Amino acid sequence: MKHSFETKESALACMPGARRTDIFMPAQSSTLVYLIHGVTGTPLEMKYLARKLSQKGWDVYLPTLPGHCLKLRDMVRSNEEDWLQHVRTQLDFCRKHYQHLVVGGLSSGALFGLEASTTIPMDGIVVLSPTFFYDGWNAPWTLRLLPFGIKRLPAFLQYLFFHLDGHPYGIKEPALQRRIREAYHPLYRLRAFLRRFRSETPQLPQRSNSTEAVGYPIYSLKTLADLDRLYERVKECLSQVTAPTVILQSLEDDYTSPRNAELVYDTIRSSEKKLVLLSDCYHVITIDKKRDVVAAEVSKFIESCVGLPEDSELHALRG
């Protein structure tokens, strides 16, 4: 079976629920690798990995979760059901148009892939920094109050409480830390607003520091409650996961300790599974200091699941 997308335009035209912030990298392959960003994140956090896999010769698609890459109000209006349904719908469509389908995700994005695999056949699952417990070395103490807030505060009040994402932002690489700190700084947000206010013509956001590039700097209590329901739901279905799976997480993860990766490894029923623990990086391993190691491990895993891409020698020369 041949792939159905030859260009980015054709992919976005055909894919249900596609957004202009989706990224498609065609390689004329019958295998599609579908990589999901985390909640409050952006497809760009998966772009480096996607480029490496595309250079190997596989088609790669990076979706945009509902409510993301927009305004904060759009984020809080979306929920775990919206995100799950969006991923399922797109993966079901891709399953019908590609001979091989591999799903992967970062943080909560990994959980969407695991859940979808219980109803949609997958050739492989890539789990990156899975999140079930906020037990990393830099997890804020305020998250300990999360169960109380979810149970005691009515839903309409949960929109009023926020947790601000702080240094090091899930990243150990100093240059990336500085860029995100600047993008999240209130003065930057104010200057961007004033530029748009003074301009007579509409302006697109500066891509390097917009929500399309760095995601949202805060989590509302409502979004944290959505994620809590997602975590419980996926934990319940982990034993139904049977596709070949690779799990990668940092030993120094600042948000979620390796206990999260071990939970996935110990609970899934896949006969082929591998756990890789990394050093010298934090939570967002797809862009941090070990991103090349991540890309190499993921590439090796996909090759073991679906074989070498078509025209692999040609793609190797291009890469």
CATH number at residue 44: 3.40.50.1820
- Adjacent-strand bridge partners of 104: 35, 126
Tokens standing for residue 52: 């490496």
The Cα 42–Cα 170 span in angstroms is: 14
* Total structural domains within the chain: 1
Q: Are 294 and 266 in contact (CB under 8 A)?
A: no
Domain contains 170 = no
Domain contains 133 = yes
Domain contains 158 = no
Mean pLDDT for the chain? 84
Nearest alpha-carbon partner for 70 in 46, 43, 94: 43
| Pairing mode of beta strands 273-278, 245-250 | parallel
Per-residue pLDDT at 306 exceeds 60? yes
Q: Is 307 left (phi over 0), alpha (psi -120 to 50) or beta?
A: left
Give the containing element (helix H, strand E) for 259.
Answer: helix 259-267
> Whole domain around residue 243: which residue ranges?
8-140+223-318
Per-residue pLDDT at 127 exceeds 90? yes
pLDDT tens digit string along 277-300? 999 999 999 999 999 999 999 999
Domain contains 194 = no
Res. 157 pLDDT band, cuts 50 70 90: low
SS3 state of residue 164? strand
Q: Which residue has the higher pLDDT, 199 or 64?
A: 64
Q: How far is CA 69 from CA 1, 234, 265, in A?
A: 34, 25, 31
The Cα 31–Cα 318 span in angstroms is: 18
Domain contains 166 = no
The length of the chain is 319
pLDDT attached to residue 18: 95
Nearest alpha-carbon partner for 173 in 25, 43, 48: 48
Q: Give the torsion through C-alpha atoms of 25, 26, 31, 34, to 10 deg.
A: 20
Domain contains 301 = yes
- CA atoms within a 13 Å half-sphere pointing along the CA-CB vector of 37: 29
Res. 316 pLDDT band, cuts 50 70 90: very low
Domain contains 184 = no
Average of per-residue pLDDT across 77-84: 95
The Cα 275–Cα 149 span in angstroms is: 34
Domain contains 41 = yes
| One-letter amino acid for residue 75 of the chain | M
Average of per-residue pLDDT across 42-52: 96
Q: Are 177 and 167 in contact (CB under 8 A)?
A: yes
